Amino acid sequence: MSAGFRAVQWNRKKLIYDAIVLAGVAIFLAAFLAVGTWIKPPQNPAEAIDLRIRAFGSCAFTMLTLILAIGPLARLDRRLLPLLYNRRHFGVMTFLVASLHVWFMLDWYITLGALPSLAEELTRWPDYARFIGFPFKTLGIVAFMVLFLMAATSHDFWLVMLTPKAWKALHMAVYGAYGLVVMHVALGIMQTDRTPLIPLMLFGGFGAVAALHLVAGFRERDRGTAVRDGWIVVGPPRAIPDQAALIVAAPGGERIAVFRDGRQIGALTNLCAHQNGPLGEGRIIDGYVTCPWHGYQYRLADGCAPAPFTEKLETHRVRIRDGIVEVDPRPLPPGTPAAVMCDKASL
């Protein structure tokens, strides 16, 4: 946080998370290589390298699909929120797997003594206007560059340098990279490999990610639409889960996280000051509202981070009228006390 940069503080949960991801990658690659060798044993070094290209490329695509699915899954089921905590680790590991995919592709050209033909293929400009024969490797290279940029700026140093808003906008490019990967496979491998497994993996993964985002969006679309005298109608206090939040949408589209900690009810902006993470998807831990992405904490009463940190969040006025919690959609200056206490009888 603002007190300075610190090395990653490893704990048991982080180690288990990373160990599971690494084990999953190892199992995926081992299974792919074993099955591929069993179905069609490589007859020469180039075919062996080609199998590795496909293994690491499929693994990177699967990992990227899972990364994009974690967000909507956590919104649909709060029990999956722990998957969000170390998603940045997952992203860096995806880049490393993609790097090996690129390396084996270059190794394939080197083994065949055809490296100059790769440059010729990428600069054959008339082919970019065709569908069949499109230089699909260009799409993969651009997607790889996007993943590299995201991995290179994953440290908090770049978050501070770029500001949270710009940093988050930059890392939203992962959706563009995913689209480029889909096109890379569709215009490349699917034109020469007729196995149904590739389109099943490709369009199944893409369809699943799109469906999850649509379902999560539809579930949230009506929250906070009821307005009474200019105030957002949230509901009775008991409708807000204890030590958790309901996320409501202001008329202008801004999301507000309405938390309840016992009898105390407060409303904060849904954007964490660290990386604009979804604060309302977190919980109150040790008396502090805790962001699900990286554990940044804030007081519910005024949106201030505990000392020695200095982050402050915008707060919103809260009132309880006729037993119903209402929130003023107009934000207060960061760090302004705005929480209220409800009656025990209303819980």
Contact predicate 164/276, CB 8 Å: yes
What pLDDT score was predicted for residue 220? 63
Q: Which two tokens stand for residue 128?
A: 């970019």
Residue range 34-44: mean pLDDT, rounded: 93
How far, in Å, CA of 88 to CA of 249, rounded? 27
pLDDT digits (tens, 9 = 90+) for 155-187: 777 777 777 778 778 888 899 999 999 888 887
β-pair partners for 257: 268
Contact predicate 328/316, CB 8 Å: yes
What pLDDT score was predicted for residue 201? 77
What pLDDT score was predicted for residue 43? 92
Residue 70 Cα distances to 212, 257, 305, angstroms: 9, 20, 27
Contact predicate 239/246, CB 8 Å: yes
Residue 178 Cα distances to 56, 117, 210, 226, 313, angstroms: 16, 27, 12, 36, 32
Pick 6 or 204 by higher pLDDT: 204
Instruction: For the chain, list the domains and their CATH numbers.
Output: 12-220 (1.20.120), 227-346 (2.102.10.10)
Q: Of the given ranges (170-174, 176-180, 218-222, 291-295), which has the lowest mean pLDDT?
A: 218-222
CA 231 to chain centre: 32
Going through the chain in order, the beta strands assigned E by DSSP cover 227-228, 231-235, 244-249, 255-261, 264-269, 283-285, 288-290, 297-298, 315-316, 318-321, 324-327, 340-341
What pLDDT score was predicted for residue 41? 94
